[in-house]
Amino acid sequence: MGVRVRFAPSPTGLLHLGGARTALFNYLFASGHKGQCILRIEDTDQGRLVPGSKEGLEESLQWLGVQFHESPSKGGPYGPYIQSERLSLYQQYARELLNGGSGYPCFCGKERLQSLRQRGTTGYDRRCRKLSRRQANEEMSRGSPFTVRLKVPENEVVCVEDAVYGRVEIKSSTIEDQVLLKTDGFPTYHFACVVDDHCMEISHVLRGEEWLLSTAKHCLLYSSLGWKPPQFVHLPLLVSSTGEKLSKRLQGTSVLSYQERGFLAEAVAEFLCRLGWSGGGEREGRSLEELAANFSLSGISRSPATVDEGKLMSTNKRHFRRHLHDPESAAVLARKLAECVKTTLTVPHDSSSLAPEYLFQVLQLLEPGCWKN
């Protein structure tokens, strides 16, 4: 089977640097293997949706140069590509787990779960797991609302094989009987993600390191459903120059904010591709095609990658120079500069100082060596 990867953002806001880096790594990996890269929108947590963010995410990805073979707007043979449009699929597999005995209905309401938490119980106490099939059926026929939970095996060790972090072992006793399907018929993230990765024939799952431990839950689901898991590839954390975890909520870390500050798209893209991957060679100023040709999973590191703006500046400079040497893109830069001159310069200027030939020569002055006497 060929390479099929997916980028699966939740439409809860702007595309931030971490998400963009994940999307780019997926894109490079697929391109380098002549595989397919898929965009899937994970909107099952309806309470967290932010209107317009799906469109915003797609625009930022397009700006960066990430192209998808299949997506909500493009469609494709494995669609729909928005999880809220796939509910019957998750319900079908939840029923399969119930019938096969790997899942069970849980009738515990919010109040009971809350009081368990208040009493300090870690996770769900598995009360409904002890119900007989007959008791559960009776409860269901009375129309009581229920969630579907996974029967997590007791005292087993779950092994996650990860291409970057190696073998990670997690005791099943630390995993709660997770909810798969909520009372309103919506799946939880973990369930929807596993069902979709399987049904969309995803071969490799590249995503942030923060998902590594929950992958144990996914592995349990794969084995309960009798499916082969994809190859997992977790990407190292991004940290700020002061060592803090880069969070979605941090101001100024959205792709849009870099776009608004005037950075070149290909510079931001290359900068992100080099966060946690070391196979891009020393020389900066590379296109996504060049990076894809060299991309390999073995070049991904485990240690957190630092987002250093100085580095982004130097990458931006490289790409800027590359543009200067290409007449077509230099003309675009000259037009952009003309806009800036018109809107921001307070010193007198006339139309001759806005002429593309003139501005092009001004831009050439940025080349090293130009200012030597």
Residues involved in catalysis: 248
Tell me the per-residue interface mask from 36 to 65 with ligand GLU, x by CB under 6 A, - otherwise.
------x-----------------------
Structure tokens at 96: 């399969």
Q: According to CB under 6 A, which residues from 237 to 256 bind ligand GLU?
A: none
Q: Quick one: 197 or 266, whose CB is closer to ligand GLU? A: 197
Burial class (CB in 10 A: 0-12, 13-18, 19+), 83: buried
Residue 287 Cα distances to 27, 34, 270, 298, angstroms? 13, 17, 7, 20
Distance of CA 170 to the CA centre of its chain: 24
CA atoms in the 13 A half-sphere facing the CB of 300: 27
Which residue from 8, 20, 267, 312 is in contact with ligand GLU, where contact means CB under 6 A?
8
- Which region among 5-13, 121-129, 277-285, 341-349 touches ligand GLU (by CB under 6 A)? 5-13
Min dist CB 197 to ligand GLU, Å, is 8
Min dist CB 159 to ligand GLU, Å, is 19
Which residue from 3, 4, 5, 10 is in contact with ligand GLU, where contact means CB under 6 A?
10
Q: According to CB under 6 A, which residues from 183 to 212 bind ligand GLU?
A: 193, 207, 211
Q: According to CB under 6 A, which residues from 211 to 240 bind ligand GLU?
A: 211
Min dist CB 211 to ligand GLU, Å, is 6
Residue 341 Cα distances to 114, 306, 311, 321, angstroms? 61, 35, 27, 20
Q: Does 13 bind ligand GLU (CB under 6 A)?
A: no
Which residue from 9, 13, 229, 276 is in contact with ligand GLU, where contact means CB under 6 A?
9
Total binding residues toward ligand GLU, as defined by CB under 6 A: 7
- Give the three-class secondary structure for 326: coil
- Which region among 7-15, 165-173, 290-298, 358-366 touches ligand GLU (by CB under 6 A)? 7-15
For 216-264, the DSSP string reads HHHHHHHHHHT----EEEEEPPEE-TTS-B--TTSTT-BHHHHHHTT--
Q: Quick one: 9 or 56, whose CB is closer to ligand GLU? A: 9
Q: What is the pairing mode between strands 305-306 and 238-239?
A: parallel
Sign of CA dihedral 206, 75, 197, 122: positive
Q: Quick one: 177 or 209, whose CB is closer to ligand GLU? A: 209
- Cβ(247)–Cβ(219) under 8 Å? no
Burial class (CB in 10 A: 0-12, 13-18, 19+), 192: buried
User: What is the contact surface with ligand GLU in residues (CB under 6 A)?
Assistant: 8-10, 42, 193, 207, 211
